C-alpha cells in the first residue's frame, strides 16, 4: 500500500509539472501572436489617409495588421481603377470585411459570400476577404504571362484582385461561370495603371489562374 501511495504522489507531481510547463508555453505564445482578445475591427474610412465617408468596409485583425492592410488599400486607391473599385464597394448596400488570416496564404487570398442569386441580380451579398497581412510588399506568389513566364504578383496586385471579386459580389455583378476571368481582366487594368504611375517600361500582364507560392513565413 505504501508503495502504491508513493507512486500516486510521483504521478501527481509529474502532472502538475507538465501543467506548469504548458501554462508557460501558452504565455510565450500569447506574447508572440495576438490573441483573439487583441483583435479589433476598424472601418477603413477611419484608417485611411484619403477617405472621409463610407459605410460597411471593415478591417479585422491586430492593430499592426490593420495598419498594413490599410496602407496597401490607400496605395490601391491612388489608381483610377482602384478608386473606382473602392468607391463602388463603399457605396454598395452590403458589408465587406477584410480579415487577416494565415489560412489564406496558400491560395493568396480568399473572397467569399453566400452563394445566392443576389450575387448576379444587382442586389449583392455581404462579403469577407481573408488576406494574410504577414506577406511582404513583394507578395507571396508569382503568376504567369502569355508566354508562360512567371511575373510579379505583389501585395497590391493580390489585394486588388480580391477587391475586384468583392466589388462584384457586393453589387450583384459577379459572373458565376467566369469570376476569375472577370477579376484577372480588372487586375490587368490595375497592373497597367500601376506600371505607368511607377514609370516602368515593361508592363507585365497576367494570363490564366495558375500561380506559384514563392514566399514562406
pLDDT at 49: 86
pLDDT at 150: 97
Alpha-carbon distance 90 to 88, whole Å? 5
pLDDT at 181: 97
pLDDT at 37: 54
Mean pLDDT of 66-73: 97
Over the stretch 145-171, which tens digit does the pLDDT of each residue have?
A: 999 999 999 999 999 999 999 999 999
Over the stretch 180-209, which tens digit does the pLDDT of each residue have?
A: 999 999 999 999 999 999 999 999 999 999
Indicate the pLDDT class of residue 142, thresholds 50, 70 and 90: very high
CA distances from 15 to 4, 18, 29, 30 (A): 17, 5, 21, 22
Over the stretch 24-57, which tens digit does the pLDDT of each residue have?
A: 322 223 333 444 458 899 999 889 988 776 668 9
In the chain, pLDDT over 70 holds for what percent of residues?
A: 82
Q: Does residue 63 surpass a pLDDT of 70?
A: yes
List own/partner pairs for 180-186 with CB under 8 A and 24 or more apart.
Answer: 180/209, 184/208, 184/209, 186/81, 186/85, 186/160
Q: Residue 129 phi/psi, 5° resolution?
A: -105, 125
C-alpha cell read off for 184: 484577372
> Is the pTM for the entire model greater than 0.85?
no
Amino acid at each position: 500500500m505504501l508503495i502504491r501511495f508513493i507512486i500516486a504522489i510521483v504521478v501527481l507531481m509529474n502532472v502538475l509539472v507538465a501543467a506548469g510547463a504548458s501554462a508557460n508555453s501558452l504565455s510565450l505564445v500569447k506574447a508572440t501572436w495576438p490573441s483573439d482578445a487583441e483583435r479589433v475591427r476598424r472601418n477603413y474610412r477611419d484608417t485611411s489617409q484619403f477617405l472621409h465617408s463610407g459605410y460597411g468596409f471593415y478591417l479585422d485583425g491586430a492593430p499592426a495588421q490593420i495598419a498594413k492592410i490599410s496602407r496597401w488599400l490607400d496605395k490601391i486607391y491612388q489608381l483610377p481603377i482602384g478608386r473606382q473599385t473602392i468607391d463602388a464597394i463603399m457605396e454598395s448596400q452590403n458589408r465587406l470585411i477584410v480579415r487577416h488570416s494565415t489560412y489564406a496564404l496558400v491560395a493568396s487570398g480568399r473572397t467569399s459570400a453566400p452563394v445566392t442569386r443576389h450575387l448576379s441580380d444587382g442586389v449583392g451579398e455581404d462579403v469577407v476577404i481573408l488576406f494574410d497581412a504577414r506577406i511582404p510588399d513583394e507578395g507571396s506568389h508569382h503568376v504567369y504571362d502569355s508566354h508562360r513566364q512567371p511575373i510579379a504578383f505583389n501585395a497590391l496586385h493580390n489585394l486588388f484582385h480580391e477587391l475586384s471579386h468583392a466589388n462584384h459580389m457586393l453589387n450583384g455583378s459577379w459572373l458565376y461561370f467566369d469570376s476569375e476571368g472577370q477579376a484577372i481582366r480588372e487586375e490587368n487594368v490595375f497592373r497597367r495603371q500601376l506600371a505607368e504611375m511607377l514609370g516602368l517600361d515593361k508592363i507585365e500582364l497576367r494570363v490564366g489562374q495558375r500561380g506559384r507560392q514563392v514566399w514562406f513565413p
